[in-house]
Amino acid sequence: MQAQSYPNRPVTIFNPYPAGGGADNLIRIIATQLSQEWGQHILIENRPGAGTTLAAAYVAKAEPDGYTLLLSSSQLAPQTLFHCHRSKSSHAGSMV
């Protein structure tokens, strides 16, 4: 049995931010490039709300086949490190 190439059908990218904003514009530019490179349609679904949790929860429950993706921001990582370190340290607010 020969492996199929990815993607062999359309891919959906969930944007957890409002339509028309910077993230929406960025993901549409990226999706256009991916569509040309992959030869498949890339669908963008805006699902803002609850601090990006609505889109993230939907994608987390999707079939883990690589056809449902989530646009994410790395700004959450420093905040998480800050809060974890703060709770373990006597220096409230110090960064790792």
The model's pTM? 0.73
What domains appear along the chain, each with residue ranges and CATH number? 11-88 (3.40.190.150)
Arithmetic mean of pLDDT, 77-96: 46
Q: How confident is the model at residue 73 (pLDDT cuts 50, 70, 90)?
A: confident
Cα–Cα dist 84/96, whole Å? 9
pLDDT digits (tens, 9 = 90+) for 74-83: 665 554 444 4
Distance CA 3, CA 5 (A): 7
pLDDT of residue 24: 95
Phi, psi of 70, deg, nearest 5 = -125, 130
What's the confidence (pLDDT) of residue 58? 94
Euclidean distance between CA atoms 51 and 61, whole angstroms: 18
Q: Indicate if the pLDDT at residue 21 is higher than 90.
A: yes
